[in-house]
A and B are shown apart, each in its own frame.
Chain A
Amino acid sequence: MATTASKLPKVAKGKKQEDVGQIPQWKLMVRRFSQSKLSVGALFVLGVMYVIMIFSDFLAPYPHDVLDSNNAFAPPTQIVWGPEGPGIYGLKQELDMERFQWIYTPDPSVIYPIRFFVQGHEYYFLGLFPSRLHLFGVEAPPEANARVFLWGADKEGRDLFSRVLKGSQISLTLGFFGVFLFVVIGSIVGTASGYFGGALDNLIQRLIELIRSFPDLPLYMALAAALPLNVPITVRYFLITVIIALVGWTGLAREVRGKVLAFRSADYTAAAIAAGASHWHIITRHLMPNAMSHIVVVGMLSIPGAIGLETALSFLGLGILPPAVSWGILLRDAQSVQAVVTYPWLLIPVILLIITVMSFNLLGDGVRDAVDPYA
């Protein structure tokens, strides 16, 4: 928010301004950004989330898609201290005929120890290196019903902790790439439109007008519904990214066009033209650097919306499809009020999603204030 900066006491502001002319601009930006404590906090939270996402397969004790009817809706496992360090009890599953719910009672006779750096299911670290190493796992014979559910299990007995980790690989990246793609398209098209003008500009503006005549969410839904269903998850991931970009670039392109139009009539551009500079030189040397801060800010502020959009589409059954998992898929389980009231841990993905979206908003605000450090 613009207010974050103006809230600062006047004295501190005056003091900072003494050396403004002497230090490079990027240092001023970093300084202004770090003045906003909330934005720095948000950056830290997001940093932690993304590091966890990178190591998610290593941190997840179980595969995200293995069904286990013996543990449907099993509550978060209680960790106990046994003779060999931390461990868990086995669970006994009973059906409460009255309320028709599964009831789990821990069996304290045996403690199954939790081991660290164990071998488990195979995964590809960063999608490249095969590995079986996991941070932790329970050592138990196959016949014992002893699995560790840090955040409980869903209705198919799948470990929610592992599913949230796996889902972050899609939810934390898809919106990001979608925004990256539309920032690239929007800047190129907007610059071309503003710089060359004429028929090209007219054509592009009509196209933007057409796309913006559709209400956005229904348009996203219609496009997502048109995607082929029987494709691998990576292809679908890519297609959804493209959809986000296809609709999203229009706003940015308009703003960039406006900026470029203004810069184009500036004296330095006229001087460059008079000196015989090529179009390419003028665009990359004079127009783009000036518009860049604006482009970065719009991009940053669009990320939370794009993440929310992916979640919404997956939630509606039009985005990422099971058996692949994203946070939107996990929200589907939290849709039923009865289920959530009985099994509150199903809400964990919702909370994580809100934290992510808010952190991106705060970060975007900080960046917006920081790109104009002279203000």
Chain B
Amino acid sequence: MINFIARRVVNMFFLLIVVSFVGFWIIQLPPGSILDVQIQRLRMQGGNIPESMIQALRDRYGVDDPFYIQYWKWVSRSLQGDFGTSFETDQKVAERIYNRLGFSVTLSVIALVFTWLVSIPIGVYSATHRYTWPDYIITFIQFLGLSIPGFLLALILLITASRLWDQPIGGLFSPQYADAPWSIAKVLDFLRHVWIAIVVLAIGATAGLTRVMRANLLDVLNMQYIQTARAKGLKESTVIWKHAVRNAIHPLVMALGTLLPALVVGETLIAIILSLPTIGPLYLDALRSQDMYLAGTILVMLSALLLIGNLLADLLLAWVDPRVRLE
């Protein structure tokens, strides 16, 4: 087992190095940089800017350095926890990212819990009541959830909600709660702002997991040990929940690792539509203004999240199913 973990971790580490290199290369591809925009702005404000000042700015940001030197500077500083200063706002990249990444992960974790709480019971119900009307309805809703793109659903929910009642638009808190300490009222206010995002995030994942749960449980219910359990005279609920569900739930455990990063990523578009201050809109702004350190850092961070999630999924699987370890 230790051998297995070590191999996976080393593998991930190498992959992360290559990913950061390629990621940074993609981000710096477009010609020009945010520095050009900034110089333009300074010119508009103050008329003529001495050439020496522009040169100083260029040196500071390392705009003229060849690509590999830029990359090396960026990586060596990142490893020390200093992600550089964002061109656009002069704020520390780390600060900007951590604030928003916190909200992104919070939203995703809530959506994840929601997904699990909903998809297991519904999947079980759907499998045990196969080919009944509720099963058809569940299948139909699953289909809708899988096939409508999340951002369109967010748009529709937002419009419906703001038409029907006083749905706050944008932001995470109402002004009066923004700086208040945490309280029940503040949590409720937070949920009122973000429920659409959570529902939209959860709905796609829930639809997928419910389907997986249903299919697995149907397979397991055909096993002989289920027949044996029933023959012993166990209660049906014990047969289902203790014998069948426990054996059908493995793929859902596996999905845990891949789901979290997927949710953090999926939140990008939805947050832009709902104007929530999370990582997605920040990334879009950074890309648009060619703020390459900020955009590069976010891209590599999201990749790291994905890789770590995959690693966790592999480890969980190896823990749950010993056969995997031998391969």
Q: Is the CB of A312 within 8 A of B149?
A: yes
Q: Would you call A131 an interface residue if the criterion is a C-beta within 8 Å of the partner chain's C-beta atoms?
A: no
Residue of B nearest to A331 (CB): B155
Inter-chain contacts of B266 with A (CB < 8 A)? 217
Q: Is the CB of A209 within 8 A of B261?
A: no
Given contacts A225-B30, A226-B30, A350-B152, contact A318 B287 (CB under 8 A): yes
Binds A, one of B51-59, B107-115, B267-275: B267-275
Hey, what's the 0/1 contact readout for A307-351 against B, CB within 8 Å counting as 1?
010011001111000000000000100110100110000010010
Q: Is the CB of A316 within 8 A of B306?
A: no
Q: Is the CB of B303 within 8 A of A337?
A: no
Q: Would you call A276 an interface residue if the criterion is a C-beta within 8 Å of the partner chain's C-beta atoms?
A: no
Inter-chain contacts of B155 with A (CB < 8 A)? 331, 334-335, 350
Inter-chain contacts of B261 with A (CB < 8 A)? 215
Q: Would you call A233 an interface residue if the criterion is a C-beta within 8 Å of the partner chain's C-beta atoms?
A: no
A357 to B151, CA, bound (A): 13
Given contacts A7-B131, A218-B302, contact A210 B139 (CB under 8 A): no
Interface size class of B (residues with CB under 8 A): 35 or more
Q: Is the CB of A222 within 8 A of B302?
A: no
Inter-chain contacts of A209 with B (CB < 8 A)? 15
Inter-chain contacts of A215 with B (CB < 8 A)? 261-262, 264-265, 302-303, 305-306
Q: Is the CB of A226 within 8 A of B29?
A: yes
Inter-chain contacts of B156 with A (CB < 8 A)? 350
Binds A, one of B60-68, B157-165, B219-227: B157-165
Hey, what's the 0/1 contact readout for B299-314 against A, CB within 8 Å counting as 1?
1001101110000000
A358 to B146, CA, bound (A): 9
Q: Is the CB of A214 within 8 A of B306?
A: yes
Q: Would you call B295 an interface residue if the criterion is a C-beta within 8 Å of the partner chain's C-beta atoms?
A: yes
Q: Would you call B283 an interface residue if the criterion is a C-beta within 8 Å of the partner chain's C-beta atoms?
A: yes
Inter-chain contacts of A210 with B (CB < 8 A)? 15, 18-19, 22
A1 to B272, CA, bound (A): 32
Q: Is the CB of A214 within 8 A of B159?
A: no
Q: Would you call A190 an interface residue if the criterion is a C-beta within 8 Å of the partner chain's C-beta atoms?
A: no
A1 to B126, CA, bound (A): 15
Q: Would you call A39 an interface residue if the criterion is a C-beta within 8 Å of the partner chain's C-beta atoms?
A: no
Contact of A226 among B26, B144, B146, B264 (CB under 8 A): B26
In the assembled complex, the CB of A367 is this many whole angstroms from the nearest CB of chain B, namely 15
Residue of A nearest to B23 (CB): A214
Q: Would you call A221 an interface residue if the criterion is a C-beta within 8 Å of the partner chain's C-beta atoms?
A: yes
A226 to B22, CA, bound (A): 13
A219 to B283, CA, bound (A): 11
Residue of A nearest to B295 (CB): A222
Q: Would you call A36 an interface residue if the criterion is a C-beta within 8 Å of the partner chain's C-beta atoms?
A: no
Q: Is the CB of B162 within 8 A of A337?
A: yes
Q: Is the CB of A341 within 8 A of B23?
A: no
Q: Would you call B284 an interface residue if the criterion is a C-beta within 8 Å of the partner chain's C-beta atoms?
A: yes
Give the number of residues in A that approach B within 8 Å (Cβ atoms). Answer: 40
In the assembled complex, the CB of A202 is this many whole angstroms from the nearest CB of chain B, namely 14
Residue of B nearest to A364 (CB): B147
Q: Would you call A354 an interface residue if the criterion is a C-beta within 8 Å of the partner chain's C-beta atoms?
A: yes
A92 to B143, CA, bound (A): 46
Inter-chain contacts of A316 with B (CB < 8 A)? 269, 272, 284
In the assembled complex, the CB of B135 is this many whole angstroms from the nearest CB of chain A, namely 9
Residue of B nearest to A209 (CB): B15
Q: Is the CB of B303 within 8 A of A214?
A: yes
Inter-chain contacts of B151 with A (CB < 8 A)? 312, 315
Q: Would you call A213 an interface residue if the criterion is a C-beta within 8 Å of the partner chain's C-beta atoms?
A: yes
Hey, what's the 0/1 contact readout for A212-247 against B, CB within 8 Å counting as 1?
011111110111011010000000000000000000
Q: Would you call B148 an interface residue if the criterion is a C-beta within 8 Å of the partner chain's C-beta atoms?
A: yes
Q: Is the CB of A353 within 8 A of B152?
A: yes
Residue among B27, B139, B146, B152 with the highest chain A CB neighbour number at 10 A: B152
Inter-chain contacts of B273 with A (CB < 8 A)? 335
Residue of A nearest to B158 (CB): A337
Q: Is the CB of B307 within 8 A of A213?
A: yes
Contacting B at CB under 8 A, from A262-321, are 304, 308, 311-312, 315-318
Q: Is the CB of A361 within 8 A of B143?
A: yes
Q: Would you call B244 an interface residue if the criterion is a C-beta within 8 Å of the partner chain's C-beta atoms?
A: no
Contacting B at CB under 8 A, from A1-58, are 1, 3, 7
Q: Is the CB of B159 within 8 A of A341?
A: yes
Inter-chain contacts of B26 with A (CB < 8 A)? 219, 222-223, 226
Inter-chain contacts of A318 with B (CB < 8 A)? 284, 287-288
Inter-chain contacts of B146 with A (CB < 8 A)? 361
Contact of A317 among B158, B268, B288 (CB under 8 A): B288
Hey, what's the 0/1 contact readout for B273-290 against A, CB within 8 Å counting as 1?
100000000011001101
Hey, what's the 0/1 contact readout for B241-275 against A, CB within 8 Å counting as 1?
00000000000000000000110111011001100
Inter-chain contacts of A214 with B (CB < 8 A)? 19, 23, 299, 302-303, 306
Residue of B nearest to A227 (CB): B30
**Other A-B pairs, 4, CB within 8 Å; known A213-B16, A228-B30:** A221-B287, A312-B269, A317-B288, A337-B159
- Sampled A-B contacts (26; CB under 8 Å): A1-B143, A209-B15, A213-B16, A214-B302, A215-B261, A216-B265, A217-B268, A218-B283, A218-B298, A218-B299, A218-B302, A219-B299, A221-B283, A222-B26, A222-B27, A225-B287, A225-B288, A312-B151, A312-B269, A318-B288, A334-B155, A341-B163, A347-B159, A350-B155, A350-B156, A358-B148
